[in-house]
Amino acid sequence: MASTGSSDDDLSDWEGPVDVDLDDPPSKQMNPWSVVTGVTKWIGLGKSKKLWTQLAGHQGSFQAGESQTVLKKLLDRERQAYVKIQSDPLKDFTPGYRGEVQKQGETYIQLQDLLSGFTCPCVMDVKMGCRTYHEVELKKARENPVLRKDIYKKMTNIDPDAPTQEEREKQGVTKARYLRWRDEMSSSVNLSFRIEGIRKDDGSSSKGFKQVHLRDEVREKFRFFLGGNKIALETYVKRLEAIKAAEESSEFFSKHELVGSSLLFVHDSEKANIWVIDFGKTQALPEGVKIDHRSPWVEGNHEDQYLQGLDNLIAIFTELANDT
């Protein structure tokens, strides 16, 4: 077990490295693919190999691809986003897109393996924006509330006191209510980004950041993630600035609402990089609707506050750089 370097409550979520016997094909094992938000990679350690742990996203969405690629189950919105991004300034900041492939009756998009070329990297997934649901989901939940027991359970696992009296009686919550609550509990609403997961270079990982809410708490998690690596910190500050410049000049970015998209931070002892990933919930803005990605969201305006989150990230990483 590894410590997150801060509050004890994270430790319950912290998992050690996963060892897999290669004589037993991964598909037969309990945790078949080691994935970090769409990025699959084996680290060779003789017969037994360590697996990455999935830090975010749906289990089972990924497969290892050929020649330094990963396969991600096709979501039409995401495919469309990658196709459009190929002729946009954002292209330099997203995984290389190699089209669609069929495997075992499923369609996947083929993406560059972002961890390729790193040695025992530290990886962090930061989900961007002030909300992780579409406005239409709120509308649907009001008109036809579907109470889900599975996410009620997820909610009470995080905070037994979170459900209302009515939700407790029905033992269910709507997905929209759960996602909104998650956004408020974490730093999505107050900082317009949140930490989804961190994996350290020893293979330990955690998704236990659901209640990391305050700026200072987030900052300490970043400090822990960096582990005193100055090269990574300096590279991250520059790369965040470059992503901001690209997004501010991007036609794609100006015409889309980005919900549930992440920044993937990766570093080892020698190098670092950040990529913009996860476009499964990215959608074109309705005709005539404009957002600046910074203004406060009110239902109906489609704002995602992505750039607000990026400004906050840049400010925190710059503070950390100035502290060292």
**Shortest Cβ 110–ligand I3P spacing (Å):** 21
**Shortest Cβ 155–ligand I3P spacing (Å):** 8
**Shortest Cβ 260–ligand I3P spacing (Å):** 5
CB atoms within 10 A of CB 176: 20
Three-state DSSP class for residue 99: strand
**Shortest Cβ 280–ligand I3P spacing (Å):** 6
What is the C-alpha to C-alpha distance for residues 181 and 63, in angstroms, rounded to an integer? 31
Site size toward ligand I3P (CB under 6 A) is 7
Residue 182 as a binder of ligand I3P (CB under 6 A): the answer is yes
Residue 239 as a binder of ligand I3P (CB under 6 A): the answer is no
Q: Name 178's Cβ contacts closer than 8 Å, sequence gap at least 6.
A: 148, 151, 152, 154, 155
CA torsion 44-50-56-57 (nearest 10°) is 70
Task: From 178, 166, 99, 165, select the one nearest 138 (Cα to Cα).
Answer: 178
Instruction: Considering only the stretches 18-26, 33-41, 175-183, 286-294, report the one whose residues sit in contact with ligand I3P under the rule CB under 6 A.
Output: 175-183
* Residue placing its CB nearer to ligand I3P in the complex, 123 or 151: 151
What is the C-alpha to C-alpha distance for residues 267 and 238, in angstroms, rounded to an integer? 14
Site for ligand I3P in 145-164 (CB under 6 A): 151, 154
- DSSP structural state of residue 51: E
| Secondary structure (DSSP) of 200-235 | -TTS-EE---TT--SHHHHHHHHHHHHTT-HHHHHH
**Shortest Cβ 42–ligand I3P spacing (Å):** 26
Residue 262 as a binder of ligand I3P (CB under 6 A): the answer is no
Range list of H helices, the chain = 76-85, 135-143, 149-158, 165-170, 175-185, 188-191, 215-226, 230-249, 251-254, 306-323
* Residue placing its CB nearer to ligand I3P in the complex, 94 or 261: 261
Among 26, 38, 208, 260, binds ligand I3P (CB under 6 A): 260
Residue-wise burial string across 58-69, b where 16 or more C-beta atoms lie within 10 A, e elsewhere: eeebbbbbeeeb
What is the C-alpha to C-alpha distance for residues 51 and 11, in angstroms, rounded to an integer? 20
* Residue placing its CB nearer to ligand I3P in the complex, 19 or 184: 184
* Residue placing its CB nearer to ligand I3P in the complex, 86 or 157: 157
Residue 132 as a binder of ligand I3P (CB under 6 A): the answer is yes
**Shortest Cβ 60–ligand I3P spacing (Å):** 11
**Shortest Cβ 179–ligand I3P spacing (Å):** 6
* Residue placing its CB nearer to ligand I3P in the complex, 209 or 225: 209
Binding residues vs ligand I3P (CB under 6 A): 132, 151, 154, 175, 179, 182, 260
